[in-house]
């Protein structure tokens, strides 16, 4: 994974670019959140009015007295009711504000996440098989499902509330400074401690969050792998050891999460304690000032209320910065995935290809999955348009690899492959792949109905066409025996069907896709001899007029092939003969 450390500014800029399409929603959410500040300033006011103007005899503040009928001196009872009414009104407004903000926040966040996940999924599908083979699916799954959500929490749950908290701090500060600047400065004296401890803890939290994420992903990978291979796990009675592996990995995750929680707790403690020290200092000095008559009791209470609210956003900023670090670690991981380049790139101005004639040439093609494991070495051969080629070779010799190169699942390490005399890399990738109907060695079915699986390449195919394809692949008989026929759901990866049945559905899919080139990788490996003979017959019809690469370990399958190729395991050979003879060099 590309884990190069981006400059923090570039990192935030990238987040900003991502959320840009939603800026109007985010701005509206931000403004709505900012309303919390003036409302928070009003919260301690009723208490001050009650103490100073109802219990005491200090005149009402100017703006408040305007709410009462213009008499020389309002009755204490009406002042009290005013204070009580104000309290309820402020609470109501606060609740409405927070409800509206959270609704808009949820809406914006979900929209943002959907767009982000969509982009991530698109990118994942474009990444090469080599990437997915080596990283495993759980990795991508975790990033898509969990890490992507971090972008939402960065913007909606952290950044905007963070800004609104910061603004509240500024508002509170302004008001307290105006009331009594000496006390306000005293309260502020603790701020450097808050800032410094924040700096110190953030780094540790981000580091721990990264660890937690890596461990959670590993646990998910175990579940994914075990469930996919559950038949093997059960047959080797390995449930116990798999459970142990999972629990061990999860326990490590738990320990890492606890360590993270501990750091967060420590941070909370430092913040809370610092705030308390500040408040205590103001209390001591403030009471002295009230005794000396420099401050009214109501104003002291107002000040204490504001102080509590000054520290509250500071505390919540600290808490937010803890979860912000976790989210940023997630966003980092998603960016790393987005930075992976597809290893099978498309040219800037690719060549369109409507329908290929089917002429193939391999020119000195070498290929290695990893540099220390070469598979093909300087392979050269030609197949004329419409010819069918049988490919044989020892297991692991590179037959499947040879065919994969044609579909550009991988690009040759050296040499080139030409289709209709043009290098494959020149073509538009989608156009190129559309030229092939391929039956892979491991049939891949999706968890929908049989009909939809057959019509995968041509969803618009009529039911008659689907049935004809099934018949051609000798799949019609077993489908007819199923209670729901073509509407039978095949289960995840087609697990509700037998190996041979899956293979025939996969073959039917190739029959339905009217492509000029065919790749059949052991299309009959899982069927009985009788069915094989029938399928060979059917394949002969399918292969007519199409360039075909037919890979098999069974000789009988090759009866209709024009040429034979042998892929040698350790030798750089693939040679075409124009007879049925198998060439070994």
Residue 519's CB is within 10 A of a number of other CB atoms, namely 24
Least separation, in Å, of the C-beta of 551 and ligand ATP?
Answer: 7
| Cβ atoms of residues 429 and 346 within 8 Å | yes
Nearer to ligand ATP, 153 or 506 (CB): 506
Which residues touch 523 (CB under 8 Å, ≥6 apart)? 439, 503, 506, 507, 535, 539, 550, 552, 557
Across the beta sheet with 422-423, the strand order is 374-383, 360-368, 414-419, 422-423
**How far apart are alpha carbons 580 and 550 in whole angstroms?**
13
Residue 576 beta carbon to ligand ATP: minimum distance, rounded to whole angstroms: 17
Question: Which residue's CB is nearer to ligand ATP, number 207 or number 441?
Answer: 441
Residue 320 interacting partner from ligand ATP, Mg ion, none (CB closer than 5 to 8 Å by kind): none
**Residue 424 binds which entry of Mg ion, ligand ATP, none, with Cβ cut-offs from 5 to 8 Å by kind?**
none
Residue 375 in the binding site for ligand ATP (CB under 6 A)? yes
Return the number of the residue (101 or 397) whose C-beta is nearest ligand ATP: 397
Helix or strand (DSSP H, E) at 363: strand 360-368
Residues 424-463 close enough to bind Mg ion by CB under 5 A? 441
Query: Reduced to 3 states, what is the DSSP secondary structure of residue 289?
Result: helix
Q: What is the DSSP letter of 370?
A: S
Return the number of the residue (133 or 578) whose C-beta is nearest ligand ATP: 133
Residue 17 vs 373, nearer CB to ligand ATP: 373
Half-sphere exposure of 256 (CA within 13 A, CB side): 21
Looking only at residues 401 through 420 of this chain, which bind ligand ATP when binding is defined by CB under 6 A?
401
Looking at beta carbons only, is 199 or 569 nearer to ligand ATP? 569
Q: Put the strands of the sheet holding 388-393 in their side by side order.
A: 436-439, 517-521, 547-551, 388-393, 563-567
- From the list Mg ion, ligand ATP, none, which binds 278 (C-beta under 5 to 8 Å, kind-based)? none
With CB under 5 to 8 Å by kind, the binding choice for 206 among Mg ion, ligand ATP, none is none
Q: What is the H or E stretch that residue 368 is in?
A: strand 360-368
524 binds ligand ATP (CB under 6 A): no
3-state secondary structure 231-249: HHHHHCCCHHHHHHHHHHH
Smaller CB separation from ligand ATP, 211 or 340: 340
Q: Report the nearest approach of ligand ATP to the CB of residue 359 (Å).
A: 23
DSSP 427-491: B-HHHHHHTEEEE-SS----SSBHHHHHTTS-TT--HHHHHHHHHHTT-HHHHHHSTTGGG-B--
Q: Which one of the spans 159-167, 266-274, 393-401, 526-534 is the region binding ligand ATP (CB under 6 A)?
A: 393-401
| CA distance linking residue 364 with residue 570, whole number of Å | 16
Q: How far is CA 189 from CA 186, 193, 202, 286, 318, in A?
A: 5, 8, 22, 15, 17
- Shortest distance, position 574 Cβ to ligand ATP, whole Å: 11
Q: Which is nearer to Mg ion, 265 or 396 (CB)?
A: 396
* Pattern 370-409, Mg ion, x by CB under 5 A: ------------------------------x---------
Stretch that binds ligand ATP, among 1-9, 181-189, 212-220, 391-399 (CB under 6 A): 391-399
- Encoding tokens for residue 33? 């959140």
- Only segment of 40-48, 399-407, 418-426, 459-467 that touches ligand ATP (CB under 6 A): 399-407
Rounded Cα–Cα distance for residues 155 and 329 (Å): 14
Query: What is the separation of C-alpha 51 from the centre of its chain, rounded to a whole number of angstroms?
Result: 55
Nearer to Mg ion, 246 or 558 (CB): 558
Stretch that binds ligand ATP, among 93-101, 397-405, 511-519, 556-564 (CB under 6 A): 397-405
Contact letters (x/-) for ligand ATP, 99-138, by CB under 6 A? ----------------------------------x-----
Taking CB under 5 A as the criterion, which residues in 164-193 touch Mg ion?
A: none
**Of the candidate residues 330, 358, 398, 523, the single one contacting ligand ATP (CB under 6 A):** 398
Contact 378, 365 (CB under 8 A): yes
Closest CA to 297 of 32, 28, 52: 52
Residue 326 or 400: which CB sits closer to Mg ion?
A: 400
Phi, psi dihedrals of residue 136, rounded to the nearest 5°? 85, 155
Which stretch of DSSP H or E encloses residue 380? strand 374-383
Under 8 Å between Cβ of 517 and 496: no
Residue 101 or 379 with smaller CB distance to ligand ATP? 379
Tell me: does residue 369 bind ligand ATP (CB under 6 A): yes
Question: Is the Cβ of residue 317 or residue 392 nearer to Mg ion in the bound state?
Answer: 392
Taking CB positions, which residue lies at the least distance from Mg ion?
400
| Residue 148 near residue 118 (C-beta atoms within 8 A) | no
Q: How many residues bind ligand ATP (CB under 6 A)?
A: 13
Pairwise CA distance, residues 250 & 26, whole Å: 36
24 binds, among Mg ion, ligand ATP, none (CB under 5 to 8 A by kind): none
Residue 130 C-beta: closest distance to Mg ion, Å: 17
Residues 427-486 within binding reach of ligand ATP (CB under 6 A): 441
Give the residue among 220, 215, 212, 210 at the shortest CA–CA distance from 138: 220
Binding interface with ligand ATP (CB under 6 A)? 133, 369, 373, 375, 393, 395-401, 441
Binding interface with Mg ion (CB under 5 A)? 400, 441
């Amino acid at each position: 994974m590309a884990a190069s450390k981006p400059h923090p500014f570039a990192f935030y800029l990238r987040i900003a670019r991502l959320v840009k399409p939603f800026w109007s929603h985010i701005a509206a959410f931000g403004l709505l959140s900012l309303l919390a500040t003036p409302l928070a300033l009003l919260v301690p006011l009723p208490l001050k009015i009650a103490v100073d103007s109802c219990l005491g005899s200090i005149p009402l503040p100017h703006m408040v007295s305007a709410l009462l009928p213009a008499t020389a001196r309002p009755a204490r009872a009406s002042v009290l009711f005013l204070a009580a009414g104000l309290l309820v009104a402020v609470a109501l407004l606060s609740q409405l504000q927070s409800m509206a903000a959270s609704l808009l926040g949820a809406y914006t966040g979900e929209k943002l996440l959907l767009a982000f996940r969509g982009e991530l999924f698109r990118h994942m599908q474009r990444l090469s098989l080599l990437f997915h083979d080596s990283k495993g699916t759980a990795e991508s799954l975790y990033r898509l499902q969990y890490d992507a959500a971090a972008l939402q929490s960065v913007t909606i749950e952290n950044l905007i509330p963070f800004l609104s908290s910061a603004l509240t701090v500024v508002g509170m500060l302004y008001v307290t400074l105006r009331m009594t600047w000496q006390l306000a400065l005293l309260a502020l004296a603790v701020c450097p401690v808050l800032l410094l401890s924040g700096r110190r803890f953030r780094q540790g939290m981000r580091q721990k969050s990264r660890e937690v994420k890596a461990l959670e992903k590993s646990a998910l990978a175990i579940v994914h792998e075990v469930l996919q291979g559950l038949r093997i796990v059960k047959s080797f009675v390995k449930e116990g050891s798999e459970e142990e592996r999972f629990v061990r990995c999860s326990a490590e995750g738990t320990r890492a999460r606890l360590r993270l929680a501990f750091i967060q707790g420590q941070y909370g403690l430092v913040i809370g304690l610092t705030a308390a020290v500040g408040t205590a200092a103001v209390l001591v000095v403030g009471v002295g000032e009230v005794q000396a008559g420099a401050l009214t009791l109501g104003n002291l209470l107002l000040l204490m209320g504001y102080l509590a609210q000054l520290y509250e956003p500071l505390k919540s900023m600290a808490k937010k910065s803890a979860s912000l670090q976790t989210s940023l670690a997630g966003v980092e991981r998603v960016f790393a995935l987005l930075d992976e380049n597809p290893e099978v790139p498309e040219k800037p101005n690719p060549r369109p290809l409507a329908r290929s004639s089917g002429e193939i040439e391999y020119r000195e093609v070498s290929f290695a999955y990893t540099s220390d494991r070469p598979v093909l070495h300087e392979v050269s051969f030609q197949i004329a348009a419409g010819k069918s080629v049988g490919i044989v070779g020892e297991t692991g010799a590179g037959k499947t690899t040879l065919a994969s190169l044609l579909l550009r699942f991988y690009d040759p390490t050296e040499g080139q492959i030409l289709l209709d005399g043009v290098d494959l890399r020149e073509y538009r990738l989608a156009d190129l792949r559309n030229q092939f109907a391929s039956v892979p060695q491991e049939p891949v079915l999706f968890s929908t109905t049989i009909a939809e699986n057959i019509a995968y390449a041509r969803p618009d195919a009529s039911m008659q066409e689907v049935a004809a394809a099934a018949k051609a692949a000798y799949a019609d008989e077993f489908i007819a025996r199923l209670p729901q026929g073509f509407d039978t759901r095949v289960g995840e990866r087609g697990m509700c069907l037998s190996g041979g049945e899956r293979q025939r559905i996969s073959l039917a899919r190739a029959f339905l896709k009217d492509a000029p080139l065919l790749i059949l990788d052991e299309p009959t490996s899982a069927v009985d001899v009788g069915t094989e003979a029938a399928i060979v017959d059917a394949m002969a019809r399918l292969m007519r007029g199409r360039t075909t690469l037919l890979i098999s370990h069974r000789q009988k399958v090759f009866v209709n092939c024009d040429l034979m190729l042998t892929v040698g395991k350790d030798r750089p050979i693939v040679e075409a003969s124009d007879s049925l003879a198998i060439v070994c060099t």
